[in-house]
Amino acid sequence: MAERYSSFRSGSLAWLLQRVTAAFLVAVLAFHFFLLHFVHHPSEITFAGTRARMSQWGYLATMLLFLVAATFHGVNGVYGALLNQGLSGTAKRVVLAVLVLAGGALIAQGIYVAVVMAGVA
């Protein structure tokens, strides 16, 4: 049988954060589905309703944490998968830089949209 290989050492910070963000994403995604698919029927979702929800600080903070956690989880997962495929050397550094820049841009755009929707900016 083939040995199990992982680029992440069990107990490392990246390993821990991948699991913590996964648990957080499952909980917040369940909240999202419950609120926007059962409490409010999808046909009742409007721009004004979204602005009203985003203007509540607790909801806004939850959605911003969701954005950051999802972005980290996705970028870290893609990077880990590429390392598991043997990525190394200069290509590893370039891929890491591209993923960090793309993740940062995604978070910046998401925060901008969230604060505009909240009426803060």
103: amino acid identity, one letter: G
- Max distance between CA atoms of the chain, in angstroms, equals 57
The reported pLDDT for the residue numbered 6 is: 63
55: amino acid identity, one letter: S
The reported pLDDT for the residue numbered 21 is: 97
* Choice among 17-26, 28-37, 38-47, 88-97 with the minimum mean pLDDT: 38-47
pLDDT higher than 90, residue 10: no
The reported pLDDT for the residue numbered 40 is: 78
Residue range 35-46: mean pLDDT, rounded: 83
Q: How confident is the model at residue 78 (pLDDT cuts 50, 70, 90)?
A: very high
The reported pLDDT for the residue numbered 47 is: 87
- Residues 6+ positions from 49 with CB-CB distance below 8 Å: 40
Residue range 48-68: mean pLDDT, rounded: 94
- The CATH number of the structural domain formed by 13-118 is 1.20.1300
Percent of the chain with pLDDT over 70: 93
d(CA 109, CA 59): 18
d(CA 109, CA 53): 19
For the chain, the domains span: 13-118
